[in-house]
Amino acid sequence: MNFGGYDMEKHFNNDDYIIENVKTIGTFNPYRWSETFGKSLTKNIIEAKIIHTLEGLTIPLKRYASAKDIQVIEFAGLHSYNEKSKLLKSLLIELIPQLQQCKIKRIDICFDYPKVSNGIIKNLCLSGRVPFRWKNTTYYKTVKEKKSNCKLDIKQYNKQIKERLSIPMERLEFAFKSPYFQSMELSQLDKNFLLKMEKTIFKFSGINSKIIPIS
């Protein structure tokens, strides 16, 4: 889950957190970003900081060139299979009252299977999405898409390898992006909108899902 606001940093200006500058005026240390998150610091990120918690969590805080005034915080891995995931979820629940007026920038809904069924893959293809393999991930894209879809990305990858699990597991991920939410604040995310997301998932995949609020 990603949230955006004019001053997200204010929620972490206390003794429970340490904010490390990675890319700011006078500071540029892209290696720290790669070392911490396993991703490169892309050119469209004009400011980057790492929030460190007392529990040992590391959370990215970013500004993008497309919205220079907005800080975006990313809670990635809320439903992984490790202790970090539990701690991250607890932190988010604790922060939710403070994030109510923040804009929703992204919500990923994930489904884990021993193996994604041929029926689901067939439904994705029939809905107009074409599978495209890149490295260890299969992306389901429309004909008009290039790198990504501005509203919804759908991808499939081996969760067992990614998290070094002892059991076979594949993940199908629906990444709902900022334009899908149309400047919606977290306080406005109600049951009706969750139902809309469920219908979107069903439309493309045939999966009957039930999205439960995290708090």
Question: How far is it, in rounded angstroms, from Cα 177 to Cα 189?
Answer: 14
Mean pLDDT, rounded, of the chain: 93
CA 209 to chain centre: 18
Residues whose CB is less than 8 angstroms from the CB of residue 163 and which lie 6 or more positions away in sequence, other chains included: 80, 81, 82
- For 125-142, the pLDDT digits (tens) are 999 999 999 888 999 998
Q: Is residue 209 predicted with pLDDT exceeding 80?
A: yes
Please report the pLDDT score of residue 145 as a whole number: 78
Secondary element (H or E) of residue 198: helix 191-205
- For 43-92, the pLDDT digits (tens) are 999 999 999 999 999 999 999 999 999 999 999 988 888 889 999 999 99
Give 104-150 as a DSSP string.
EEEEEEEEEESS--HHHHHHHHHTT-EEEEETTEEEEE-TT-SS--S
Using only the alpha carbons of the chain, give its radius of gyration. 18
Q: What angle do CA 134, 89, 189 make, to 5 degrees?
A: 85
Please report the pLDDT score of residue 212 as a whole number: 87
* In the chain, % of residues over pLDDT 70: 98
- The residue extents of the domains of the chain are 1-99, 106-215
Q: Is residue 215 predicted with pLDDT exceeding 80?
A: no
Q: What is the mean pLDDT of residues 190-196?
A: 96
Please report the pLDDT score of residue 143 as a whole number: 82
